[in-house]
Homo-oligomer: A and B are copies of this chain.
Amino acid sequence: MLLQIDHHSGQPIYRQVAEQIRRQILAGHLGEGEQLVSVRELAGQLKVNPMTISKVYSLLEIEGLLERRRGVGLFVARIRRDQKSRTKGQMLEQVLAKAVATAVQLDIPESEVHESIERLFERYGVAMRRQEHE
């Protein structure tokens, strides 16, 4: 599992890690039933206190993304497809709602929002293709 922390982002460590794991699960990069790296091991890799990682895992367990087995470890929970896509939809809508609110208050027309999104997607497409070649 490839994780990285940006100590200068202002975002707390536990949220950065949680967000990355959450996305790996929802995107299917982290398979159902798969065991996660142990708290102490991940803490060691990231050079962070184990409690910080424990907090991350607890957070994701509450969200229903992880299942814990006492004394054994944490595993990616079985998630029903509809629930999964609903969660993904909610995450998207959360960020989009902010954007639309901004646009409305600044009197920016809907068409411009769509255009901007097209540009951004295009930019991502380019970035992805560059990544594939490396």
Chain A contacts to B: CB under 8 angstroms: 23, 26-28, 88-89, 91-93, 95-108, 110, 112-114, 116-118, 120-121, 124, 128
Contact = CB atoms under 8 A, between A and B. Distances in A.
A104 B105 CA distance: 26
Nearest to A121: B110
16 contacts: A23-B106, A88-B108, A92-B102, A92-B103, A92-B108, A92-B116, A95-B95, A95-B99, A95-B102, A97-B120, A99-B117, A100-B117, A104-B124, A104-B128, A113-B117, A117-B117
Interface SS of A by simple majority: helix
Contacts of A101: 124
